[in-house]
Structure 1
Amino acid sequence: MAKFKTSARTLDLLGRQQIAGIPTAINELFKNAHDAYADFAEIDYLRSQKLFILRDNGLGMTEEDFETRWLTLGTESKVSSSAITLPPIDENKPLREITGEKGIGRLAIASIGSQVLVLSRAKSYNSLNNTVVALINWRIFELPGLSLDEIIIPLRNIQGGTLPDMTLINNMKNELVDTLKKIAKNKQALESIITSILDEILSFNINPSEIENSLPNPSLSLLKNGHGTHFYISPVNEMLDNDIDGDSNNTDATKIEKMLVGFTNTMTPCHPKPQIELAFRDYKTDNKTYKDIINKDYFFTPEDFYTADHHIEGMFDEYGQFKGKVTIYKEKEFQDHIINWNGNNFRKTTCGPFNIDFAYVQGKSSQTIIGQEDYNRIIAKCDKYGGIYIYKDNIRILPYGDSDYDFIDIEKNRTKSASFYFFSYRRMFGAINISKQYNSELKEKAGREGFIENKAYRQMREILKNFFIQLAADFFRDNGGPKSIFWRERRSEQEKIYKALEKREKQAKAKKEIFIKKLNKFFEDLSSGAISLKIQEILNNVAIELGGVIYVRDAEKASQKILDIEFSTREKIETYKQTIKLVQPRGFFLNKRVAEDYNSYLIEFEKLETNLFSKALEDLEELLNYYTSRLHIEISKRKRLELAVNQVSSDATKIASKKGKEANTAASEVKQRVKELANQLMIGLEDKIRTIKDEFKQLQINNSDDFNLVKERQRMENEILAEKEKATNALDSVLKQLDSFYWEQDDLGNIVTSEDITQALQEKVFDLEEKMINDVELSQLGQAVGIIHHEFSSTVNSIRDSIKDLKAWADVNEKLEGLYTNIRTNFEHLDGYLNMFTPLSRRLQRTKEEIPANDIRLYIADLFYPRFERHNIKLKHTKGFSKRSLYGFRSTFYPVFVNIIDNAIHWVKQINKNEEKFIKLHADDTGVYIANNGPIISIADYERIFTYGFSRKPKGRGMGLFISQEALKESGYKLYVVSPLEGCNVTFKIEKIENYDTQE
């Protein structure tokens, strides 16, 4: 009697060669973890060790389960049958529908790597079993001419709550080696292949006991009361790196991302809570840093749905008819919209009922109502992950969702006519939800390459193709039905707004660039002394010109000459002053940084007005008095005053007259443009009326039975009314714009225009946005520090108690006093930084004290000694500094000095190696100074460097000086930049705030 014999290569054919690729294999293993009622299934891929670890905390397997289920091909027990024992379930959790029904999921491991160590500990009826350990080399199953019964799988049963050690693993390796050697005796032709497999087995030196402690998420551990299944796969198929990294020149999602992101539905509003959470940590280096490449935050979220332009959700009933809600531009809702499908002659479908929920984003930024930042973010997601995903009982079915898999011809149709078919995968995201209960005829292929193309699948496909075509016709076509009118009008309105804003932004950008250029030029000239030199040059020329008056013999002419020189000089000074004077810009608003620069400019210009320009006029007066006295020339002061007033009046009249002409010209242009627009619109309306009337002669009214008077009249009326609406809407818009153009006078007599108000509002909005971003970052920091505080609270308490114990020893031993003070200060230094972000009620109990400045110097010298030595920087101090003290908490002042000195080292180390590098500490009766000879701080940055987020340091966070200033402010001190001390380029000053309330 003949019998079938099972070749070992059957496993290779059913497993590795049937699965589409590594991402699909991983997806299958995640499904198995889901079926095992795991809460977590996580991957840790250690590239340098070529080790792939997949762990779950599911129900696990007993030794019997492993042999009768895991090592049995095509396990039937996942398929419901009265004659078959069903797989175990966790009675403490909701029932899960089985997702893997082919019995080949475990064979997918061979796609990931050629060798696997399996650890599994079963949990059943709230009791825990021993841990099962198995070692498998998949390459053995590729050997030709080998039967399955010739291969032995090393299997061990060890005490639960423990992990196998290297002795056990080596023992299992030896068992595999012995099996191979027996095979080699009978298969001499395969000797070279078997030798290669033997080398691979012997090189497997994975020790779970060592690796376990270094992996995240302790809840997955099999130690103590842990349960679940772990796979240690090594060596790993080299294609895995390619699947993870993809093409560096391509922004598309990688194969791993396409297949594993969105394993459960977490994107649609009101989605069911995921029954399993996944992670895929990719360790590219040995420094224990990783990236979770399937983090759900990278995928679409319900917030993205709410942000999108359009939202469609509804149900396809058992007849294939759609009924649901369509929301256009987040404004117009069409409830209970119906799309019919007659492909099954209105009989019940085989595929069954299912629902759909997806969002859509307009392809052009000129047509979307989404803010630019959110639009760019969502479009970037759509480019990577856009598509319609299919979820069966909330578990994704592959490969649906991959935009390259065009199963309902979305992209194919779009290439024919984008305006007709409208939709694109790369602009939509959403889900089709099916279930085993209602859609049992939709069955997956064994290789997880979509559904088997049976009648049910073909029906669902045709239903969806019809749905998207009809949906486009109903809502998203220029010549669509009545429900598409809102989309057309809203889109057109958005395009107009976009174009207007774009035009305004271009004009504003040009003005802004000129303004910033002038602002930067001012600070450059101020820092280089060019402004002072220019005024001095004018005064020097005055002295030369006045010296020439000596040779004028006629007293009257000499007097007039001096008056002319005075007039000319005053004009030159005023002209130069106007060239560097920047007026508050109009037509664009200043962002925070430029606004700070402009405020700094106003402060510096006011200083120039007082210290330079007024002084120059005083010097001019002295020169004039000197020469008139020397030459014995009498000049009427009344005449000089009259000339000065006339000069100012003339200049003022010229400038005002020029601006008046510009205003009149602008008003005339607006008037002309409005007139032309109104005329153009009226011509369009008249032409439309004449065209309609001209059609009368072509109509066959009396001689035609088919003529429909009502329909024809309605068409003509609609065309005329549409043209009328176009004209009136345009003119209404212009009228609103003209109505909003106004001005009024404030209490001081200044004219405030609508442009000033708009600009002020824009600046306020920008400031609020900046503040919101900063507040979010600070709140995140606060949360992070809160976590640190919670995690280390016991440690902190222990250290605090130890410090108290040490103090008792220090009180009776003078040698320990310095050590105690140093430890206490360092501890308060660290705690001071952390508690800066926590409520005052949680701060350490500290006392204020007089802190000798010399203590701070010694602390700084000790802390930064290695860096001072490495960069050859000297820490200098004056006698004034040594004599002074600061009153407050050490843990407040020490971090401030540390931060400023740390910054100083960064900048000072960059100056010429041959120059002396130093940081200088000084103090006087007004405060303490911290100076250095590093690069000069621009005057424009004096205030800005204390702004949160601002930094000139590469990769700087812009937090240190901001936090230092805020911390000192709480203690009654202020920190700011002053003019550099002699020989220094940068100087910070800590100064006590006057009238500060010191009570706590």
Structure 2
Amino acid sequence: MVASLSFQTRARTIDHLGREQIADCPTAISELWKNAYDAYARSVSLNIYDGDFQVATLVDDGHGMTITDIEQKWLIVGTESKAVSSELSESDKNGIEKVRVKQGQKGIGRLSSAALGSLLLLMSKKKNEKFVACLLDWRLFENPYLMLHDIQLPIMEFETRSELPELLPSMFDKLMGNLWGDGLDSGRDKRVEAAWSSYHEQELEEGKDQTTKELIEETVIDEAFSERHFESWPVWNGKSSNGTAMIIGNINDDLIAQLSSDSGSELEGSDKRAKENFQQTLASFINPLTREGENRIDDFEYRVIAHNGSMQRDAISDARSFGIEEFDQLEHTIEGKVDEQGIFNGRVKAFGVWYEDVTVKPKVRYKTRKDTRFGPFDIRLGTFEILKKNTSLSDVLHTKLLEQTVEFAGLMVHRDHLRVMPYGRENNDFFEIEKRRTKNAGRYIFSNRNIFGGVCISKYGNPNLKDKAGREGIIDNKASKLFKEIVENILVDIADRFLGRYSQIRVDSLAELNKKHAEEKASEDRKKLLKKEQNRIRAAINKNTPQLTDILLEVNELVEQLESRLSLNSQDEIIQIRHVVTDLQGRLKELSLSPIPKSLGSVENAYREYRDSELNAYVLIKNINTSLNESLEKLTVKQDIDIAEKDFRSKAAVLHSKINKYATEGRSLLKTELSRFDEELSLANKRFHKELSNYLDDLAAGRTDLATVTNRIEDEYQKQDVKINQQFKPYLTAIESIRNQIDLEGLALHSLNENSSLKKEVERMNSLAQLGISVEIIGHEIEGIDMTIANGLSYLKESALDAKQLEVLNSVLIAHQSLSDSWRFLSTLKLSGEKIKSDISGHDIFQYVKNFFGKRLENNDIEFNCTDDFLNLSIFEQPSRIYPVFINLINNARYWVKHTECEKRLINIDFKNGKVIVSDNGPGVDIDDVDSLFTLFFTRKQRGGRGVGLYLCRMNLQAGGHDIYYEKDPANKVLEGANFIVSFQGVERSE
């Protein structure tokens, strides 16, 4: 006789399928979120609460369950998903019109809740139905001696929220019957007691401090769950009429770690890993890289909320994901579709440049059956260059992306836009990206640590790509192997063609980028250097101004003393005064701020005041030295060699003082080059003696005179002073620049390149300027139009007009005459018009300029005149080359004279020593600006200045062999303001 037997299932089977089967806590959460998605929830959240007994709640606003649903579906392991899907009514879809692709496949996802905590209160409510609650402790299923059918879970219905507190104690007592029995079935009671007795003994033998039974018995349900926890459920707080809630006690340590508000380096060990794992797993639970018009999920929200007291903090949120806007900022991306033959069609972005209609074919032609095909899928992934020198991104964006790699990087897989675990985690290398990089990182440029996005499959389009039961990836079958191979082939091919070491696009792009970064680095270095110099000058002015003021006072006192005396009769006295002057001169040189950058910014006014005081002191010292030398020559000499040696020692002392100062600063900056530095100092110290020793010997032997030697000493002193500055100051400046991380070589190279570019730009601007003004281009047309208007107005004037018409006509005639006069002035200024030369007198120039500016000079109360010498000069030249120069010079003078504080405002043109001098009594040109006066685009005008006029004046004059420059020597000036000297070739005087 053949007997029949059936499988007997122990309770531990549930623990195997649930807590032990699921990969980890975040994966369990993702499974429960997918259940909420299948229930047509619009939102789901995991709430984690602090307290003596930490609690988590996983709540949604899905269609909910009745007591029958829990009994016949939730508590039945392996529910057939397709059957469940077909039973959904329209009301269960919560008003969501789009049909959701069901994610549940094996009917065991609900068991994932065991991975979150041991104690579970399951509550649910369907629309227009009662609340239903079920209480269970997952630790019951850890007992290997207990049969599954002997575990009975308490389940109850209730109408209102207020009933639950009264029901929980009785439900808990019913749950405890699974430890002690409940007296309703003596056979079950004995089996339960025996099973727990055996398990208790086993755990004690294993050395456990507390057995599972003791831990379950210690649970106090009233202290575990409170109103604070229930309020997180939308049904409980009245925001929804349906949904499901899991209230979980004795929660997993990974959940407790999320309560910490610390991040980054503040976290340590397991807590840090737990938070990172949560972020990597759940941050992109829904595919965030979808565009408008694509089939994306936009009716489902998810969150992980940490509750610390009354404070709430989003630990995970769909709002904190790496979205399509961030993705589009990446410099390398791949977007497209892969068909059933494994052919990729789409577009690629490399270094910010898009390449359309890109195709990648598989290595071989795949032959698949229905049960081995992989199906079509989408791919959208991107990355960026980690090294800043190679990136096309801005520094800010590059830094931002580096920060986002910690939370969002990894090549993910989404099925119907919901995350497939564990793809995208740092430790997952399903597509063997990191494995390839270990072989050749330059070629295989993609890296799990800085790749975003991934591939998107579908349940119906890729039916053979199924998840493993424990959600540890896709089942390893032929379809998954082909799927993996195709993705790998696309990554390698795109890298070879567009991004990697073998790509010409990369070679060309990096050349451009490296050049760009070099220019940016040079620009930054210039800014740093300029800022450093401005700070140096500002600090030096603040530090040196009191000393400069003291020196100026001492020099003025010395001048007053010398002026009060009619003569100096003692050589010793003169030598003593010269010693004082030399000391003052040395102290003054120590306070010099040079070299000075062209742009001083906010410190410019302070610098000019300081510089003026310094120059004033130098002028006074120069005058004193001149007076002393003249007085010394008049006296009867005692010993020329004594005088020369005293002068020599005086100046040598100043030089030694300066050298010692540089020595001190140099040694502090150049420890590694100390021997070289000392050698240079030694040579510098000896150089003054070496250069002058022959002269001192000649004087001692009577081969030369005192005046020659003292002048030579003074000249050599000035020369050596300059040489010492040139030798040591740049040396110190260079070391300081290196210390401040200023790339001098790169700066010099960029300056050289920039100088070359600027030269070409100046040539282009000069060519453009020589085209002349627009009047030249349309001159003939203007002349014809002017004649037509004139004839028409003459005709109207002779016509019979009433008084009003005649008044209007007279106004038009006056306006036309003014316009005609202005046009005639402009016609003379044409730069490239007729090259006809004629005799031009000073009188012609003066009258032309006076007529042009007459009214404006009168309105500005400016007196404009010239000398007879100028009126009588004569030049044989093109008028278009001469008149614009004087128009520009007088116009500039008119602008600046208006700012003078003199009672009379004067502009004068003179002719002396064969040169024309255009002068005014305005503020003049600052000495630091003189070298830039004739530079293109240089101007100091507050309004209306373009910095072109003087540049064109010089270019225009030089074309005819003439020249123009600014007179700096006050002794050669006609008026105390600006004085421009025009030197004409072939100028003559006519009587």
2:43 to 40, 43, 52: 40
2:229 is aligned with 1:205: no
Distance of aligned partners of 1:755 and 1:488 in 2 relative to their CA distance in 1, 3 Å threshold: farther
User: Contact conserved, 2:64 with 2:126, CA < 8 A, in 1?
Assistant: yes
Aligned to 2:900: none
Aligned to 1:319: 341
Alignment of 1:624-663 (within 5 A): none
Instruction: Give 1:86 shift.
Output: 12
Alignment of 1:770-781 (within 5 A): none
Distance in 1 (alpha carbons) for counterparts of 2:199 and 2:311: 41
Alignment of 1:99-498 (within 5 A): 99-123=103-127, 128-160=128-160, 162=161, 165-182=164-181, 185-186=193-194, 187-190=196-199, 193=211, 195-202=213-220, 205-212=223-230, 221-223=236-238, 225-241=240-256, 248=267, 254-270=276-292, 272-283=296-307, 285-286=308-309, 288-290=311-313, 292-296=314-318, 298-345=320-367, 350-479=373-502, 484-498=503-517
User: Contact conserved, 1:420 with 1:472, CA < 8 A, in 2?
Assistant: yes
User: Contact conserved, 1:321 with 1:341, CA < 8 A, in 2?
Assistant: no
Distance in 1 (alpha carbons) for counterparts of 2:289 and 2:609: 58
Aligned to 2:863: none
Instruction: Give 1:532 shift.
Output: 3.5
Distance of aligned partners of 1:258 and 1:603 in 2 relative to their CA distance in 1, 3 Å threshold: same
Aligned to 2:66: 62
Alignment of 1:977-996 (within 5 A): none
Distance of aligned partners of 1:297 and 1:63 in 2 relative to their CA distance in 1, 3 Å threshold: closer
Distance in 2 (alpha carbons) for counterparts of 1:753 and 1:133: 90
Instruction: Give 1:220 shift.
Output: 6.3
SS of 2:398's equivalent? helix
| 1:378-420 deviation line (CA, Å, top 9, x unaligned) | 1332354323211111101111112421112211112111233
Q: Percent identity?
A: 26
One-letter amino acid matched to 1:319: Q
Distance of aligned partners of 1:241 and 1:512 in 2 relative to their CA distance in 1, 3 Å threshold: farther
| 1:205-246 deviation line (CA, Å, top 9, x unaligned) | 244423455x5xx85644375421122211112244458879
Instruction: Give 1:147 shift.
Output: 2.0
| 1:885-913 deviation line (CA, Å, top 9, x unaligned) | xxxxxxxxxxxxxxxxxxxxxxxxxxxxx
User: Contact conserved, 2:343 with 2:362, CA < 8 A, in 1?
Assistant: yes
| 1:182-210 deviation line (CA, Å, top 9, x unaligned) | 26644434456355234442165244423
One-letter amino acid matched to 1:39: R
Distance of aligned partners of 1:436 and 1:163 in 2 relative to their CA distance in 1, 3 Å threshold: farther
Q: TM-score if structure 1 supplies the norm length?
A: 0.55
Instruction: Give 1:78 shift.
Output: 4.7
Distance of aligned partners of 1:537 and 1:174 in 2 relative to their CA distance in 1, 3 Å threshold: farther
Aligned to 1:23: 26
One-letter amino acid matched to 1:739: K
Distance of aligned partners of 1:427 and 1:202 in 2 relative to their CA distance in 1, 3 Å threshold: closer
Q: Which moved more, 1:353-362 or 1:552-561?
A: 552-561
| 1:682-722 deviation line (CA, Å, top 9, x unaligned) | xxxxxxxxxxxxxxxxxxxxxxxxxxxxxxxxxxxxxxxxx
SS of 1:535's equivalent? helix
Distance in 1 (alpha carbons) for counterparts of 2:474 and 2:90: 24
Aligned to 1:532: 546
| 1:437-469 deviation line (CA, Å, top 9, x unaligned) | 211121111111111112221121121122222
* RMSD of aligned alpha carbons: 5.0
| 1:663-683 deviation line (CA, Å, top 9, x unaligned) | xx9xxxxxxxxxxxxxxxxxx
Distance in 2 (alpha carbons) for counterparts of 1:399 and 1:737: 57
Instruction: Give 1:95 shift.
Output: 1.0
Distance of aligned partners of 1:567 and 1:295 in 2 relative to their CA distance in 1, 3 Å threshold: farther
One-letter amino acid matched to 1:437: Y
Aligned to 2:897: none
Aligned to 2:811: none
Instruction: Give 1:421 shift.
Output: 2.9
Instruction: Give 1:320 shift.
Output: 1.5
Q: TM-score if structure 2 supplies the norm length?
A: 0.55
2:49 is aligned with 1:50: no
Instruction: Give 1:260 shift.
Output: 0.8
SS of 1:312's equivalent? strand
SS of 1:416's equivalent? coil
Distance of aligned partners of 1:338 and 1:618 in 2 relative to their CA distance in 1, 3 Å threshold: closer
Distance of aligned partners of 1:144 and 1:361 in 2 relative to their CA distance in 1, 3 Å threshold: same
Distance of aligned partners of 1:314 and 1:299 in 2 relative to their CA distance in 1, 3 Å threshold: same
Q: Which moved more, 1:365-374 or 1:83-92?
A: 83-92
Instruction: Give 1:567 shift.
Output: 7.2
Aligned to 1:994: none
Distance in 2 (alpha carbons) for counterparts of 1:434 and 1:258: 20
Distance in 1 (alpha carbons) for counterparts of 2:243 and 2:595: 71
Alignment of 1:939-978 (within 5 A): none
User: Contact conserved, 1:265 with 1:391, CA < 8 A, in 2?
Assistant: yes
Aligned to 2:881: none
Instruction: Give 1:546 shift.
Output: 7.9
User: Contact conserved, 2:158 with 2:164, CA < 8 A, in 1?
Assistant: no
Distance in 2 (alpha carbons) for counterparts of 1:378 and 1:372: 10
Work out the number of aligned pairs and report it. 634
One-letter amino acid matched to 2:420: I
Distance in 1 (alpha carbons) for counterparts of 2:90 and 2:463: 18
Distance of aligned partners of 1:240 and 1:602 in 2 relative to their CA distance in 1, 3 Å threshold: same
| 1:322-361 deviation line (CA, Å, top 9, x unaligned) | 2122232232423243424424159887111111112231
Aligned to 1:643: none
Distance in 1 (alpha carbons) for counterparts of 2:933 and 2:237: 73
SS of 2:278's equivalent? helix
Distance in 1 (alpha carbons) for counterparts of 2:753 and 2:347: 33
SS of 1:421's equivalent? coil
SS of 2:429's equivalent? coil
Distance in 2 (alpha carbons) for counterparts of 1:70 and 1:181: 26
Alignment of 1:785-824 (within 5 A): none
User: Contact conserved, 1:267 with 1:299, CA < 8 A, in 2?
Assistant: no
One-letter amino acid matched to 2:466: K
One-letter amino acid matched to 2:55: L
Distance of aligned partners of 1:732 and 1:41 in 2 relative to their CA distance in 1, 3 Å threshold: same
Distance of aligned partners of 1:164 and 1:351 in 2 relative to their CA distance in 1, 3 Å threshold: farther
Instruction: Give 1:20 shift.
Output: 0.7
2:11 is aligned with 1:11: no
Distance in 1 (alpha carbons) for counterparts of 2:235 and 2:606: 63
Instruction: Give 1:602 shift.
Output: 4.9
Task: Look at both structures and tell me which one has the larger radius of gyration over its CA atoms.
Answer: 2
Distance in 2 (alpha carbons) for counterparts of 1:540 and 1:617: 12
One-letter amino acid matched to 1:494: L
Instruction: Give 1:424 shift.
Output: 2.1
SS of 2:505's equivalent? helix
Aligned to 1:683: none
| 1:237-261 deviation line (CA, Å, top 9, x unaligned) | 2244458879846998711111111
SS of 2:303's equivalent? strand
Distance in 2 (alpha carbons) for counterparts of 1:79 and 1:567: 109
Unaligned runs of 5+ in 2: 182-188, 201-209, 622-714, 731-751, 767-887, 893-924, 941-991
Distance in 2 (alpha carbons) for counterparts of 1:135 and 1:754: 92
